[in-house]
Structure 1
């Protein structure tokens, strides 16, 4: 997670305004009615892949990409389908460091970007179906899918900690959530005497999720990361006589030790910047 200048082309994250759920729902409904007219879901064929425009994505590795139906529901005579195209990413330095030290696969630092297309377009639905209702259901389906993606990454007990609104780089207004969860870190660190120290402690996880529409599609983006340096988990598992950073350097090299010692604030910054950059 490289240092980047705060001026020039690197954008500073817009302030996130926390608000009450009542205000969120009222504001979201207003945005849904005004912004969806004539646009949302007006295409046939495959859903285009979402694009992460921030150059921070260079440090991340795409691990999966898929298309599927988010939901298909009938409202009277009309059946509405929500189709998604999702890309899944892991923060490569951490994934590689864990593989080198614990022999496992995957990363605790993950990011997801999704484009959702509603068919038929919301503005083509009969008035009695209600655009606001459809958008609320899309939002609920998006948050459920995000929880499922976190579970696939090994993150459990996901709970919403905060809600708010934010302006993304495209100028659209997103509903944003901050979430918490746990990850059961498991593995063994070889010791100089030929034995091994087991890592079996749960790690606290932080996550961010944003949902907005861009005038054509619903965009969903978010990521998760440990809230403490991963090197702390190694330090807690190793005997007092062994320094965690030195042990990781011996096993996997300086780059792995540096990745595992990363300040979680840097993960949060990356996820926040990636989130607002999805188009």
Structure 2
């Protein structure tokens, strides 16, 4: 992120996904973590880069509700899901795909009662570890919904988000199954598809009241490469896409993945 701080993974597991942030957040919270009444406010993406992204879903749910001695703790979330509109539209126009491997998610998790209102026997770390598991599972579930499977953690680091809080961030890998058909100049058609290698970034931090989870995914090679690999050698992929849709669609599918990575990184650190 400018902030692209990646540190060699030390066997990171899902159980650690909030551990780094929790240690910082628990020590430095000025207010209470959680504890409001009523609906959980929606997470907001403040970067103007979000203008090119289309919101595809918004949901609120109870992540978990569990008893810790005399107290029942409830974690509630509000999530917004976005897809990068140019890529989603380009895939719809060429292979009739529904969805896109370029996606972004933002979630706010509220704990009730607030952590600092819990009895001394119910430790913050214990609750935050439970939140960590829920947040990680939710992110993986969102990626699966977008068609991204086999998600693995590659690297871990620390970054400062725009609100000034310290986030633990991860780089992940996965695969997106692209599947469709493209007409050929001969009048026949050919299948276009296969596993597309995907990169993803996930960040988790405390804003003094809630846990914020934000992340996104993107292909690690230009999507036009999938077309090139599927089409006969005599057919130029960009020309074929231009004739099938238009030049803008071909240009979108040829986008350098570094542009998606930059977008996801900047969107991630802008969530409040």
Fold match (TM-score > 0.5): yes
User: Offset at 1:197?
Assistant: 1.2
Match of 1:252 among 232, 235, 245: 245
Match of 1:234 among 227, 246, 256: 227
User: Offset at 1:67?
Assistant: 0.3
C-alpha RMSD of the superposition: 1.8
| TM-score after normalising by structure 1 | 0.92
Q: Secondary structure, in 3 states, of the residue corresponding to 2:121?
A: helix
Match of 2:117 among 110, 121, 124: 124
> Unpaired segments of 5 or more residues in structure 2?
none
> Could you tell me which residue of structure 2 aligns to residue 193 of structure 1?
186
> Could you tell me which residue of structure 2 aligns to residue 3 of structure 1?
none
Q: Secondary structure, in 3 states, of the residue corresponding to 1:40?
A: coil
> Could you tell me which residue of structure 2 aligns to residue 218 of structure 1?
211
Structure 1 stretches (4+) deviating beyond 6 angstroms? 22-26
Hey, what's the Cα distance between the residues in 2 that align with 1:239 and 1:198?
11
Hey, what's the Cα distance between the residues in 2 that align with 1:260 and 1:26?
38
Hey, what's the Cα distance between the residues in 1 that align with 2:132 and 2:10?
14
Question: How many equivalent pairs are there?
Answer: 268
Cα pair 2:20 2:168 within 8 Å, conserved: no
Match of 1:53 among 39, 46, 52: 46
What does the per-residue CA deviation read over 1:251-274, in whole Å, with 9 as the maximum and x for residues that have no partner?
110111111000001100000000
Hey, what's the Cα distance between the residues in 2 that align with 1:256 and 1:73?
49
Cα separation, partners in 2 of 1:253 and 1:22, compared to 1, 3 Å = closer
Match of 2:171 among 174, 178, 187: 178
User: Offset at 1:27?
Assistant: 4.6
User: Offset at 1:73?
Assistant: 1.2
Cα pair 2:193 2:226 within 8 Å, conserved: no
| TM-score after normalising by structure 2 | 0.94
Hey, what's the Cα distance between the residues in 2 that align with 1:149 and 1:26?
21
> Could you tell me which residue of structure 2 aligns to residue 5 of structure 1?
none
> Could you tell me which residue of structure 2 aligns to residue 66 of structure 1?
59
Cα separation, partners in 2 of 1:72 and 1:21, compared to 1, 3 Å = farther
> Could you tell me which residue of structure 2 aligns to residue 105 of structure 1?
98
User: Offset at 1:71?
Assistant: 1.1
Q: Secondary structure, in 3 states, of the residue corresponding to 2:101?
A: coil
What does the per-residue CA deviation read over 1:222-270, in whole Å, with 9 as the maximum and x for residues that have no partner?
0001111000000000010110000000011011111100000110000
> Unpaired segments of 5 or more residues in structure 1?
1-11
Hey, what's the Cα distance between the residues in 1 that align with 2:198 and 2:6?
22
The answer to which of 230-239 and 130-139 deviates more is: 130-139
